[in-house]
Amino acid sequence: MSGGGAPKLEIDASGLQIAVLATTWHANITDGLLAGAERALKAAGNSEYEVWRVPGAFELPLAAKYAIEAGADVVIALGVVIRGDTPHFDYVCNAATDGLTRVQLDSGVPIGFGLLTVDTEQQALDRAGLPGSKEDKGAEAVEAAVLMARLKS
């Protein structure tokens, strides 16, 4: 698994206005990512974050822009896209990734990338921070984005 060497980052999220964006597709997986992000935020001293539900991964960049316009210091983008039989997967993954990158660079506001782009549902379950998961990508997205926010200040 690629995340086997991931560092455990010590972060301080206190005092930051944080928006957590979570897609609605594959709710069991996305809810696991959200739970991991929430655990990480609370452990880092922030229980004042806002959760924004968005339809799908394609909508994450615009939702991130809206959250930043509403005052977010940090945005966490969570969701999952599972490969199917059509090129739709490639279009959605590329649009979401490129859009989140653009919003982050244009605004200077860190965005934690917790969008799983996987071939199978099992791969997503392994990364979702659920009981039995090997990784917790929701928590990792929080750690990376908060660390970047602290680098700026």
130 contacts 55 by C-beta, under 8 angstroms: no
Task: Let me know if 26 is a catalytic residue.
Answer: no
Query: End-to-end CA distance of the chain, in Å?
Result: 34
Q: Between vectors from CA 96 to CA 93 and to CA 98, what angle results, nearest 5°?
A: 100
CA–CA separation, 128 and 5 (whole Å)? 17
Both structure tokens of 49: 């974050």
CA–CA separation, 31 and 33 (whole Å)? 5
Active-site residue, from 42, 88, 102, 134: 88
Please list the active-site residues: 88
